[in-house]
Amino acid sequence: MHTDPQYPTHLEDEISLREVILKIQGFIKELFKYFWIPVILALLGGAYMYYQYTTQVTNYTGKLTFMVDSNEGGGLSGMATILATFGLGSGGKRANLDKITQIGKSRKIIYRILQSKTQIDGKEDFFANHLLNIYPFREMWKKADRMDLADFVFTQKNIQEKNPAKDAILNTLYKKIVGSAESENQLLNSGYDDDSGIMFLAITSESEDFSINFTDSLFDVMSRYYIEKSSAKALKTYKVFKAKADSIYKVLTGKQYALANIFDQDKTFYLRTSKIKRDRLLGEIEIFTRAYAEAYKNMEVAAFDLDLKTPYITVIDRPIAPLPKKSPNLLMDLIKGLLLGGIIGSAFVILRKIYRDVMTEPLQS
């Protein structure tokens, strides 16, 4: 660059542009001269992607969609509906959906399913044993010299026992299903649509039957648990009022039968003792009738509250065979490998020329 103020600026721009063009031409000539380097790296990239393709297995995704109609909140539900029309007040609904999602990922639910039986490929066994056969956990434990884990098999007998090996295996399988910091390739994927509120559960595994059966079982266990816990308090209240109403009704019925027996005994109908007993029973029947009416009303209110607090979960679509396969695309993988290898090879040639030009350029004093 010239520092002379009399030197024309446009000539300096032309020289700079000329240098850029010459540099580009030099890079192109260098690439043609050493074309075999990008070609070799491109072939190596394609070969690597082909190897990845041959070693990858086909996965099957079983997806189940459902919707939750929860009236929890009692009288506030109407206000929530009004607020929702203005885009407000959806926090409660989202909180319930998040709660269901977290329940589906809980150890309590996953462990319960793993220790239940299902039929896969014509063989009925525990989900845990099926999962151990699908993935190479036993080989991994054998290499780590953990034969207590490698030789463990879930049976009807040890499923109820406390066993350190069983607990360790369940924890490993749980991490495989739900995911952990060490592993990102979890089998379970769940969530919901913010606009529609429709929820989904999806299990992706190497076994089509496992993906279908585990997804179905997860929904059944999770939904049943959520319904039970959501309505537990209201159900307890209903049972208390029902027990009280039944108890009063039983006493009331006994009094009515006792009064009927007095009327049936014609011989003692006009005796004063019978009249006193009859009048006393009539008074007691009147008291218990009022008490039963009040208890029955409370029971009906509790039943209504129970119905209000019980969420309704409706399945939209269950996974049905054949499931969509999740397998690699050979053509796309080869293209990616060839392009990546070619780019790396070309970058190497260009950077090597830049380095050589810099090192051979004479130093200016």
- Please tell me whether residues 225 and 183 are part of one structural domain: yes
Tokens (6 digits) for 330 = 């050979």
What would the pLDDT profile of 5-44 be if each residue is shown by its tens digit?
Answer: 554 554 455 557 777 787 787 778 877 887 888 888 888 8
**Residue 283: CB atoms within 10 Å:** 11
Both 266 and 118 in one domain: the answer is no
Same domain, 263 and 195: no
Report the pLDDT value the prediction gives residue 76, as an integer from 0 to 100: 42
Q: Are residues 281 and 332 in the same domain?
A: no
Helix (H, G, I), strand (E, B) or coil at 364: coil
H helix or E strand, kind and range, residue 74:
none
- For 191, the enclosing helix (H) or strand (E) is strand 188-192
- Shared domain for 70 and 219, answered yes or no, is yes
Q: Is residue 189 part of a domain?
A: yes
Same-domain check for residues 226 and 285: no
- Residue range 99-151, pLDDT digits in tens: 899 999 999 999 999 999 999 888 999 999 999 999 999 999 999 899 999 99
CA distance linking residue 255 with residue 154, whole number of Å: 58
State the residue range of the domain holding 253.
Answer: 234-309
- According to DSSP, the residues that pair with 200 across neighbouring strands are 65, 191
Question: Are 205 and 151 members of one domain?
Answer: yes
Claim to verify: residue 101 and residue 152 sit in the same structural domain: yes
Which is nearest to 192 in space by CA: 283, 87, 316, 75?
Answer: 316
Residue 4 within a domain: no
pLDDT number for residue 355 = 80
Are both 33 and 62 inside the same structural domain? no
Residue 350 lies in a domain: yes
One domain for residues 319 and 225:
yes
Q: Are 236 and 309 in contact (CB under 8 A)?
A: no
Domain CATH code at residue 204: 3.30.1890
Q: What is the total count of domains within the chain?
A: 3
Would you say residue 262 lies in a domain? yes
Distance CA 93, CA 322 (A): 34
Low-confidence residues in the chain, pLDDT < 70: 1-15, 53-55, 70-93, 181-184, 265-274, 326-330, 361-365
Q: Are both 198 and 75 inside the same structural domain?
A: yes
Alpha carbons 321 and 32: distance in angstroms, whole number: 54
Residues 162 and 173 reside in one and the same domain: yes
In a domain, 226, yes or no: yes
In a domain, 365, yes or no: no
Q: Would you say residue 179 lies in a domain?
A: yes
